[in-house]
Structure 1
Amino acid sequence: MNTINTMANKTLALIIGASILSAGVGASAVAAYYSKSGSSEPVAEEQMNADISGVSGDTSSDLMKYMDTTAGTRAVSPESAFKEETVYVIAGREGSVKKIIVSDWIRNTAGKTGVEDVSELPDISILKDGESFTMGGGNTRVWDTTNDDIYYQGNIEKELPVDMKVSYFLDGSPITPEELIGKSGRVTIRYEYKNNTSVTKEIDGKQETLYVPFTMLTGVLMDNAVFSNVSVSNGKIVNDGSRTVVVGFAFPGLSEDLGITPDKMAIPDYVEISADCVNFSLGMTVTIASTELLNQIDPDKLSGGALGTGAAGSGADGSEEPLDLNASMKELTDAMDQLIDGSSDLYDGMCTLLTKSEELVDGVNKLADGAVKLKNGTAAVDDGAGKVDKGMGDLYAGMSELDSHSAELNDGAKKVFESLLATAQEQLTAAGISVPKMTISNYSEVLNNVIKSLDDSAVYQQALETVTSAVEGKRDYIRSQVTAAVQSEVESQVTSAVKAEVSGKVTAAVRQQVETAVTASVRESVLAKVLESQGMTKEQYEQGIAAGAIDSSTQQKIEGAVDQQMKTSEVASLISQNTDAQMETAQVKNQINAAIDQQMASSDVQKIISSKVSETMASSDIKALIDKNTDAQVEKAISETMAGDEVQSKLKAASAGAQKVIALKASLDGYNAFYLGLLDYTGGVRKVLAGAGELKKGTSDLKKGTKQVKDGMAELCDGILTLKDGLPALVEGVTKLRDGSMQLSDGMKEFNEKGIQKLVELVDGDLAGVVTRLRATLEVSKEYCNYAGIADDMDGSVKFIYKTEEIEG
């Protein structure tokens, strides 16, 4: 197994193995590559993701846990700045691009003063306070910094290096995402990637077009209440019980770059996800495009029949040796033979385990019988301890009888004292004096304070504070009443203003209609007069036109004469007078009023009124008016209450009440002296009882201990019986493991035939040609380090994150 893991990390196996194992075996290796922890600083992530609308959220965070691409980023040179760029593509449900957001992080590792940067972004937002720049020619910006990193972002309209198209199918038939909402059946979502970025390289003396080798990683978070039986063409599925995470991968253009035809090996350039769904809905999906997977391969270590990445091993001088792929394929084949042999041994071992399980069943049965006997014995011990405890309880009860009268005496005396205090409290309350609840310990201090407070000025101030507190407690209610009154007035004024505006517009519209009708009527009259001057009536004129007796020239002259008459001031005055007269008729006025009422009742006008009322009520002037009127009403309520008969009568009774309180305190002091003497007497009786109590506690502890032993033994017995009951399930489970190990053995043989042997066949073919094209492809991958622009003396890296719109009703 270690041999396979080592090979999976080596150069060609990393690329070709992903496609061979895309049926489900190798997807975990690619996903694992993207789940390694990166070295990006936390502050950088916070800056890079700031203000990226449409990318953040719970669903995005959950998907990115499975699609972290921070691993394997290029090493940052300490001598020059490094530009790390993330491109966020906000896409529609079918992959159409709606918005592209570029977020850049320039690492000023060299601590340069004035970092020169190139960017095609027309406008940028600086994400870190205190940074600034000076524009130069050719999209150049010189950042005014000494040693700080630089963070900025902006929008751009530019062709993406990879286009993504998302298609949807329900029960095998194409369907739009909008039509798919709420449907049920077998749904298929297909992500197709078109590589738009290529360069020309010389390979074996020929000019060849090579695509930039992007790795596309698409993640979808599926609700298990909606989706089941999920599958993916090339990827990995993780189910946490409530949701299923599907991560698929593809390499658009890589098969062309390596010159590998589909009949030899199908390198995936699309991802297809299928599932049974009920009431379809789907959240956002995330696709990541990056060249960093292939950037981990060093093209300088590729040669003829050998290639390597650094996992191949070290030479005698400590340097890395290239990997002999032909030898490694033999090693991989040998390892698979060992796995197949091991799976057969596993099956034999499971058969032995099943046989030994029967012996285990016999032993557990004997253990259960002994546990039942031990349980019965501990129960008998606990019963004896209970009898001892009961005897001590009877002894303690007898001694308690001696103390019971003392307790009753103490309690009775206390109740009498508390009754006296309660009566005194009621008398003070009836006299209008509010004091804390009096107890045996605080009554003296409380009454002394009352005596001090019962002078004229103190009583008045107390009454004022009480009244003010009561009124202030109703301030919110007073404010609500004031607000309601103000709002009613505001609504009235706003409604009147809006109605006036509506009335003007409606009247103008109706007048236009009336004026049009009056103008038409006047024109008819003018036409009749013009025709009369020509010796004909309107009927004769219309008949002549119909019979062709009146030519067009004559018609034009007549119409011209009419138009000339219509332009005269007399006719215009006549139209205006007739229009005014019509506007004054009851019919037109009723029409206007009805239209005004209809407009005022419409939802649009009501919304305008409501909006203006809300706006006016929110203004500082109205709020200040409400505050002012509320304060005035509060002061008024306080003044009226203080002047009332109730408060005034209490002020007069304060002086006489002081003498009564003094006499009340003297009476209570006398009873307190008696009560304290009684407590001293009963306390001595209590000490005699304490010794008997300690003895009773010991027997109680003994009973508790024996009960714990009995309960523990009962739990142990129950556990053993549960184990006994569970043995049939254990035997059944071992049987299933035996059957599963047989399936594993068969599966390993199938994996060897369909996966490993295909990889061996490819390596045994034109390996030299594949290595040559791979070296050129890796050079193209490393050269592509930016999307929106980068300075010539600056290195960098770039990744693209595509987010599609949710499909929900």
Structure 2
Amino acid sequence: MKKTNKNNNHKFLSKNYIKGAISGALALTILCSGVGVAAYSAGADNTAQALGVQTESTVEAVKKASTTKEALKKLSKNETVYVIADANGAAKKIIVSDWLKGVDTKGKVKDVSNLKDVKNVKGDETYTVNEDNAYEWAANGDDIYYQGTGTTELPVKLKLSYKLNGKTVSADEIAGKSGKVTIRIDYENTQKEKVKINGKTEEVNVPFLMLSGMILDDDNFKNVEVSNGKAINDGTRTIVAGFALPGMQDSLDIDKDEMEIPDYVEITADTTDFELSTTMTVAMNDIFNDVDFSKVDDKVDELKDSLDELEDAAEQLVDGSSQLYDGIGTLLDKSGTLIEGIDKLYDGAEQVNSGAKKLDSGADGLSSGAKTLDDGASKLKNGASQLDSGASQLDSGLATLAGGASQVDNGAASLSSYVATLAGGLGKLSSNSATLNGGAEQVFNTLLSTADTQIAAAGLTADKLTIKNYDSVLEGLISSLSDENAQKLAYNTALETVTATVNSQKDVIRTAVEATVRKSVTEQVLVAAGLGMTADQYDAAVAAGQVSEEVQAQVSTAVSTQMSSSAVQTAIDSNTEAQIQSLIETNMNSEEVQSQIQAGVAKAQAGRKSLQALKTQLDSYNTFYQGVLSYTAGVDQANEGAQQILAGTYTLKDGTGSLVSGAGQLKNGSSSLKSGTSELKSGTSTLKDGTSSLKSGVKTLKNGTSSLSDGTKSLFEGVGTLKDGSAALVDGVKQLNDGAMTLSKGMKKFKEEGIDSIVDAANGDVKDIIDRFKAVQKASKKYNNYSGISDDMNGKVDFIYKTDSIEKK
């Protein structure tokens, strides 16, 4: 097959093909990410607490979501790896949750694992470790859920870096600062597999799709933008989600100038008092595992066959247009000879006619005219012969053109069929968009209803949660239960209780204070009366009858007078209030009251943590929900574009049909022309024979001049008519030649820049990309565990990274 130089068209084709494949893989991943979120742990409660995620009732959901025909074939191991990292992305602890499912035996289940501190988290099944360091679980027909600590190097490493106003800063330095901030998450894929590509062994990265997200408060962040992702603002917070495919650029061997596959996520924003609660990243390596490339191969083969037919047809069109141009060129070149012969024929006929009239003046003039006539007839015969040859070439070229046009029409029909199949598939996907969106929304509303029930059971009052308001409502509840607010609430509640209790004894306290004051006033009166004794001594003396009634009356009157004075009453009131405040303070500082205050604070803290965990779970599902909405919108848009392309193929098919019809008509016209030139050629031969006979006979003809004169007159008139029409013939041939030249150039350009470029791209880039996708898929299927797996098990592994928060001091 003939090849031409490549141009930018094949780059455009390969780039779009890659984007389409990756977009399809990502759409599949987004749909499957719900299972990954639900399976944050197959029963690992302490893992969920470490990540701040509630996991109640998720085991059944994971069971249902993961029960496939493949999973039921044999024992399988689902593994979720939780990476607790610092604010820079460096792993501090790795917690691994494993689920051995599909157990259908009453005996022991053998498992391979390199985890440390392994423990059963959802049952009482026990295990032993044999001499090969393999675990043997006494499963008794039940699934096993266990957890341990990972020590193996992670396949993908995270690195978080921060810039403030263009300057690189550390996580500690940026806390509480304001300005233009850039948060960048880089992913390093170190997991490689050796595979064969086109017969050669090459090393490719295991394909990990990295989905990273964070939630930014509007009080701290404005004008949020993210590369390779989306930022969604609900009026109070911005949910940021981004994706990357580290190592995919090298694995697919794609030039970055043609297309750049992201291996990082970058978030920019204007920040005030910078704080970052956390970032969450999910890593999945099975994004291509369910793609059936055999169907893609079939479609590519169909496309290649159609393109081969199209290229053959284009070559025939080019050859036919070239032959047409050459034939018409020859016809144009020889038309001058034809005109020259006609002119000479006319001169000769004129001389013959004149000579016939003047036969009486001599036979010499007749002989000369006959010779000129014969020469002209000879040239006319040659010109007619060449004209006939050119017409034959023209007819042959148009036959080739008609055949090529028919093949182009067939190729257009095949292309239209292929695009119709693609449009039909997208149409089916698009028709499910509403159902998918509705199902995701229904699940979201169910989660919100369950959250309403949990909030009410905790004794908290809040507005009914909706998709739009759940974030602000839960954030308000969490803020109301902050340590500072909880401390104030518990203290004020205790203070109110203690104050009420002490105030209830105010009369008793006043009586005691009044007795103390009376005693002091009595001693002052005794001193003024010259009785050197205390109040107690005075009371004892009165009781012993040592004080006269007159003195007692004087003392009593003096004491009563002073006790009733405003100064003494004010002192009593003041001392009473002081005693009350002292008792309140003493009680507030007592161990019992302080314990009650701390118990209240602890209860509020527990409630706040539960609310935070609940909000994190809802935020995670909201990210998935927004991804579903984006996916369905993309499918709908792709479907609309496919329908437009399909309409264009129909228009192309109509055009090629017209081309076939026009080529047929042109071929019919050329056949008529060829027939006419053949007759002309035959006639000029007969004419030449006649002029030769005339030339030889003129010498002997001496009689019958009258008949000769009549014949030469008719000959002269006929040649004159032929001469008058020769100019129109030349003009027509010139116009035909110009059109043939334009057609020939156009067909060459169409083949070189259009057909050949498409064929080159289909035979080169597309096939290579598909082969590399297959290799990446093979590498993905090989990597199915992190901590180890038995040979007789299926495997699946996901990674979840959580980074430390950054808080201002």
Give the TM-score normalised by the residue count of structure 1.
Answer: 0.40
Which is greater in Rg? 2
